[in-house]
Amino acid sequence: MAFLGGPRLLDWASSPPHLQFNRFVLTGYRPISTGSGCLRSLFYLHNELGNIYTHGIPLLGCLFVLPLTIPWTRLSVSWLGIAHYLACVFPQLGSVLYHLFMNHEGGPAVYHTLLTLDMCGVCMVNTLGALPIIYCTLACTPIPRTAALLAYTGLSSYGIFCAVTASSSVRRLRAFAWQALFRFFFFYLRWVGLGTGHPSSLRSYLIMDGLAFLGGVINISRVPERWKPGRFDYWFNSHQIMHVLVVVSILYLHWGVVADLQWIGNHACPME
């Protein structure tokens, strides 16, 4: 059955083996296509359309609107704003490319390259997204701040390796655990008054990580499609729910970092 002039779609059993990663999504699979055929799939209904647009539309907002909300003129350290911008853009860009071209005629080789790109995008929001948080938390202690930034970057490099070589969604989620624990240490410093930053940012960061974790759990649990296979093939399946939660999580990251960047622009560290 074709939708809105698209090609004949496949069921789960007829789709290529490398696309059979969710056995509870039974229909709506695109056939193997050229690059232009993949692009045309933006304009007809299939089971990846929701995944493309739930990150594609926010990606456009991040590309063009988000830079206008970063307080560039108050930044004495400009790389903080750049790192934050890239952290918000990379995961959504990688996701859109992965879902749009996953049925490319290049087969498993192209698919796994796209999956790696998608995982790198997730790693970038975990890595670059935390650097302004760490910097502002230790704003008045330069040596510990530098050591913490270097340690987190090294830990994140290992996390990227684990994520791109993981053999399952559970292992990919686990690859980010050490980064999350590292971030929570800095959240703890703020909570007990040993770290600096805008008073409202901690709440934003906790909600950010909570939403991201919830999205990851929903994705690997395959809920709700696990309960009624075939009912959520096109809309409201676990991966789409995760996408929405990730977008909201990025918004909370943005609100927290912008508040921190505004704070650091006005804050003067006490003299020794």
Binding site, annotated residues for Zn(2+): 99, 239, 243
Amino acid at 201: S
Q: Dihedral (C-alpha) 12, 15, 18, 24: value to the nearest 10 degrees?
A: -10
Check residue 134 and give left, alpha or beta (phi > 0: left; psi -120 to 50: alpha): alpha
Residue with tokens 């039974």: 26
Binding site, annotated residues: 99, 239, 243
> Going by C-beta distance under 8 Å and a sequence separation of 6 or more, which residues neighbour residue 142?
none
Q: How many CA atoms lie within 13 A of 79 on its CB side?
A: 5
Cβ pair 166, 115 in contact under 8 A? no
Amino acid at 39: L
Helix axes 108-127, 142-165, angle to 10 degrees: 160
Tokens found for residue 211: 């939403």
